[in-house]
Structure 1
Amino acid sequence: MKIIETAIPGPLIIEPRVFGDARGFFMETWNDAVFREAGLDLAFVQDNHSRSEKGVLRGLHFQNPGPQGKLVRVTNGAVFDVAVDLRKDSPHFGKWIGVELTAENKRMFWVPEGFAHGFLTLEDDTDFLYKCTAPYAPQSEHTLAWDDPSVGIEWPVANLAPIISEKDAKGLALADVPAF
């Protein structure tokens, strides 16, 4: 696999080795020994799967206490996936990284603990899968506002309003989140 560092230390783009022929393809999405050898010594406790129509924006979610690291990927469709640094002692606090994940490019994105995470679906029937390093704890979940101008995420929404949940519509400004 190929690991690509991002402009913010921590999040990583992972390109797995894909073996394809006329029948289709095969790829490993998780191999503990291979990831460990690459410096990613991770223990996952929960797998999640969501399906969304085009234009759905989920996030920007994080848990504090009990932060989750997430290894995310798309198996059908496409997303613009975003991680926002919420580590208050980081020189990159409040900065974001965005990456397009598609069923075609088969990329994965590692979002470590200490980051808010969210995504915008770019196609109908997008299946988004992610492995988590900590269990979901609703009492510890928070939402950073997806459109906070102090973060300035450049979502590829053109002039369309994304479809968001009631919970995500109440996201907090960066100045008000319980940072790490």
Structure 2
Amino acid sequence: MIERRADAPVRIVLTGSECTGKSTLAKALAEHYGVGFAREYLREYFEKAGGRLCIDDTVPIAEGQLQRETLLEQRGSNPLICDTDALSSVIYANHYFGSCPQRIEAILASRPRTHYLLCHIDVPWRADGQRDRPEQREHMHGLFASELDRRGFAHTRVRGSLAQRMATAMGIVDRLLSA
């Protein structure tokens, strides 16, 4: 894990299982702070792949997400808001395929950490062709929480309405920006 340099942007990663409001919160935070955000690459990749993924797709997904984040970083975005990162690729590769390619672990290890916002499963689940296994929401949420704890990544659990989530998230981002 790389610690954040003093001149680096505050990096906020929205994480959690599917259909937990990550994209909605990322967009709202980006609008509030007047910055762009690294949109989730998986959705675009999934659609291009015709809705079927295998273990060989996990590295290109993680690399595509990294490219989106790097582009915003190069543009000077601060805070740097990411709608997921390689941590999700690690968790989903292990969950769906039983292992995770070392390249994804390397991507995760190479990125500076600031703060993860773990979105809770207290929003309605909606089928969209990509999301599956709504009956496993609690289990998947637990995988994300356990992995954040196991790796010692700074994180805050966000829950409730969008307004409640925004209040929690803005308090964290404002504190980190002023530090």
Question: Scaled by the length of structure 2, what TM-score is found?
Answer: 0.28
Q: Which has the higher strand share?
A: 1
Q: Which has the higher helix share?
A: 2
Q: Which has the higher contact order (CA 8 A, sep 6+)?
A: 2
Question: Scaled by the length of structure 1, what TM-score is found?
Answer: 0.28
